[in-house]
Structure 1
């Protein structure tokens, strides 16, 4: 007989290859008047649930989760958790959440073609592209303002030599690096090399940016390698840690890249930038508006992509499980 200590109803999806686990039940009520405050309450009291749900043996190093919470400022609220850190914003996760809401019948063509979502980074608008049969074909995320903050910061990396990066914000911080300048190729059989290079660069940038007022207590910039194929198309690979990379083109990273292109006067003539992952699956990015943030010119990026459901299941914890909070091999 099973003795179940805890159970969680979840729906898993992938957005261009990267997972999102939406946790529908099992998380206790959280205190706070905003999504950010509720996330901090979760971090203080229930971080063990993050590791239980996202670490091995129920998850893996690249797992991302989403916790729906009430919002007094938007149609709904959610915050993002990952195997390593808490995320202020997550583009692929938002697209996955919209797919989950559609798959579970919580949204449909009858409920409209958009909703607003409060995240720790701010309120975003989630546009919904419905098919004639009522299926959700794609999602158009209008992200928080994105901007290029630092141009051409240079760090010396022992294995690579001088590395130049642009630091940009798209809901999270990113170091944008042209892979070709380092002789790196963005393809599946080069991932191990890219992880080593990206994690080494990230460590050096963390040192160089220590005390930066803009970044503050936010996680240090992750390294987004890009390789331009044409004026309107690039391949992206985002290195998060030595053993973790984003399988999708990265929605917030693509927003940061769009801000960089806008600053450089390189927005494609047709207005659409195609950011592909290493499998060739694209996000489509457009400048939906412009504003000012922290003294910088900023863009409102619209990121379009699709998600697909991979599982609807109940995760359980047996009372005598010796690995009750999971484990993570780095």
Structure 2
């Protein structure tokens, strides 16, 4: 076979959200730390080529992420990783942290200890402590201590032709979010409205990034609103979420970084105190337990330390390969599957 590149991927999902883990064949990514590696993946043509190789058709699909497993740079870290998605490489993710932890332990790359194994994960956003509950060689659940999360701006307003004034919060939970109460757009967070939620999320994300500039005060490689997360409250008090992801899908999990950002907002409004926790449900009803473990600060601004608890499951192992003679080796995406935002943002093809 005329393969120029071969990579091994372990298939994992966290509460329904696919987070494949590249465990073999990962090329060396330039950078003195993971934030610099993230910046390289998002700026260098070779970084874009690698991302498109893994996430675009014919090898990839709109659903899910691919996690590049990397040698750690931080002395306390057991492993490092960067999340690849169609729009860019991302700094942090709760569901993907759970997928990576599950992959490391169940593949034997890190020795599993029962009843509990601690894995320190290095991300571009900082260290994430993953505490896995283990039994009979299986990773039953993972509790993450996330990076410090903070509010950038409460009650920001944007005026859009379809809905008029939309009020939202800008907050950071490992990446930046615009957090929007779903009632403002006349929709509900339920499976039958996923397409309409995505369409609204793509419009809002583009408009917010046009009018509001957000950059992490200590990590310049993390900038811009990555996602719009719609939120609601279920009758039992659980937070219902729907994170909309470019170019046109919803997160199947309750979203760890989104809930971390929302936790910072809830704390700023006096609705959650240290030591308290609550359930968060996704659009498909899967759940995370979200907790506030402590208070911190980032560049002089108040921050919270979130915890996210969920489950990861392995479901396959496969290889992807690059045939140097394949005329579609660069990858492609079409709006019939990937959504209208693909054309609107001028990214019809890699």
TM range (shorter): over 0.9
Q: For 1:91-102, list aligned pairs within 5 A.
A: 91-102=94-105
1:117 corresponding residue in structure 2: 121
Q: TM-score, normalised by structure 2?
A: 0.87
Are 1:241 and 2:246 counterparts? yes
2:151 corresponding residue in structure 1: 148
Alignment equivalent of 1:199, drawn from 178, 199, 202: 202
Q: For 1:294-305, list aligned pairs within 5 A.
A: 294-305=299-310
Matched residues in 1 for 2:274 and 2:39: separation? 43
Asked if the contact 1:55–1:63 (Cα under 8 Å) also holds between the matched residues in 2, the reply is no
Provide the secondary structure at the position in 2 that maps to 1:113: strand
2:80 corresponding residue in structure 1: 77
How far off its partner does 1:219 sit? 2.8
**Mean alpha-carbon deviation: is it higher for 88-97 or for 100-109?**
100-109
Alpha-carbon spacing, 1:227–1:111, altered in 2? closer, same or farther (3 Å): closer
Are 1:157 and 2:156 counterparts? no
Are 1:287 and 2:288 counterparts? no
Asked if the contact 1:274–1:284 (Cα under 8 Å) also holds between the matched residues in 2, the reply is yes
Q: Aligned-pair RMSD on alpha carbons? A: 2.2
How far off its partner does 1:269 sit? 10
Asked if the contact 1:63–1:83 (Cα under 8 Å) also holds between the matched residues in 2, the reply is no
**Mean alpha-carbon deviation: is it higher for 63-72 or for 104-113?**
104-113
Where does structure 2 lack aligned partners over 5 or more consecutive residues?
335-341, 343-350
The alignment covers a number of residue pairs equal to 328
Matched residues in 2 for 1:213 and 1:281: separation? 30
How far off its partner does 1:30 sit? 2.9
Provide the secondary structure at the position in 2 that maps to 1:129: strand
How far off its partner does 1:38 sit? 3.0
Alpha-carbon spacing, 1:181–1:39, altered in 2? closer, same or farther (3 Å): closer
Matched residues in 2 for 1:211 and 1:121: separation? 15
Alpha-carbon spacing, 1:289–1:211, altered in 2? closer, same or farther (3 Å): closer
Alpha-carbon spacing, 1:69–1:269, altered in 2? closer, same or farther (3 Å): closer
1:30 corresponding residue in structure 2: 29
The Cα offsets for residues 146-199 of structure 1, whole Å up to 9 and x where unpaired, read as 112211111111111110001110001111111123321111110111112111
Provide the secondary structure at the position in 2 that maps to 1:24: strand
**Mean alpha-carbon deviation: is it higher for 320-329 or for 279-288?**
320-329
Q: Any runs of at least 4 consecutive aligned residues in structure 1 with deviations exceeding 6 A, and if so which?
A: none
**Mean alpha-carbon deviation: is it higher for 164-173 or for 63-72?**
63-72
How far off its partner does 1:211 sit? 7.2
How far off its partner does 1:116 sit? 1.2
**Higher relative contact order, structure no. (Cα contacts within 8 Å, ≥ 6 residues apart):** 1
How far off its partner does 1:244 sit? 2.6
**Mean alpha-carbon deviation: is it higher for 135-144 or for 204-213?**
204-213
**Mean alpha-carbon deviation: is it higher for 31-40 or for 254-263?**
31-40
**Mean alpha-carbon deviation: is it higher for 169-178 or for 262-271?**
262-271
2:271 corresponding residue in structure 1: 266
How far off its partner does 1:322 sit? 1.5
Asked if the contact 1:232–1:267 (Cα under 8 Å) also holds between the matched residues in 2, the reply is no
How far off its partner does 1:303 sit? 0.3
Q: TM-score, normalised by structure 1?
A: 0.92
